[in-house]
Amino acid sequence: MSVKGNEPRILKPKVNPRNGFLYVSLQRDDRSNTRAVHVLVALAFLGPRPPGLQVRHGPGGKLNNAPSNLRYDTGISGLEHHMAARTECDNGHPFTEDNLMWRTDRGKRYRKCRTCHYDAQARYQAKVKKKESSLATASGRTPRRGP
């Protein structure tokens, strides 16, 4: 709730299209500040945020900003929890020991589906081969043979 003049009014949250979180615009003395709703709720009901922690949503999802669905936690633990809870990749292949690859990107380890990785490699190789073939026929040369 907000007060404009002497009239109380209910703030209307909007969804941030970049990250999917609800936010509100707060105004004071002709200055506007945009704040995430979950951060404001956590501040009001959980107290000040401890250093190094973030406001994390529970199983209710991003749009459930009830205090019971919020907690302070590290960003990494949330990602690890999400990834550990997944039993299959985006394409439905199971995350089993023989279909799993561990990759490192910018110092962070993550799981990758071996089947999807090999499929992507095959698509790339076919694209390269097709491009080489079309360039060779356009120049009148015979396409290169080999692996």
Q: 81 lies in a domain?
A: no
DSSP 25-45: EEEETTEEEEEEHHHHHHHHH
- From first to last of its 147 residues, the chain has per-residue pLDDT tens of 566 667 788 889 999 998 899 999 888 888 889 999 999 999 999 999 999 898 988 888 889 999 999 999 876 665 566 666 778 888 899 888 888 888 888 777 778 899 999 999 999 999 999 888 888 777 666 656 655
| Predicted structure pTM score | 0.52
DSSP assignment, residue 92? Answer: S
Largest CA distance in the chain: 82
What is the distance in angstroms between the CA of the first residue and the CA of the last residue of the chain? 67
Q: 144 lies in a domain?
A: no
Are 69 and 100 contained in the same domain? no
Are 107 and 59 contained in the same domain? no
Domain end residue (candidates: 53, 75, 97): 75
C-beta separation of 133 from 144 below 8 A: no
Q: 140 lies in a domain?
A: no
Q: 128 lies in a domain?
A: yes
Q: 59 lies in a domain?
A: yes
Domain end residue (candidates: 30, 45, 75): 75
d(CA 45, CA 6) in angstroms, rounded, equals 26
Are 91 and 40 contained in the same domain? no
Are 18 and 71 contained in the same domain? yes
DSSP assignment, residue 98? Answer: G
Are 68 and 5 contained in the same domain? yes
Are 90 and 34 contained in the same domain? no
Number of domains observed in the structure of the chain: 2
Question: Beta-carbon neighbour count of residue 143 at 10 Å?
Answer: 13
Q: What tokens does 74 get?
A: 């590290």
Cα three-residue angle 63-64-66, rounded to 5 degrees: 145
Long-range contacts of the stretch 33-41 (C-beta < 8 A, 24+)? 37/13, 37/65, 38/62, 38/65, 38/70, 41/65, 41/66, 41/67, 41/70
The domain in which residue 125 lies consists of 86-133
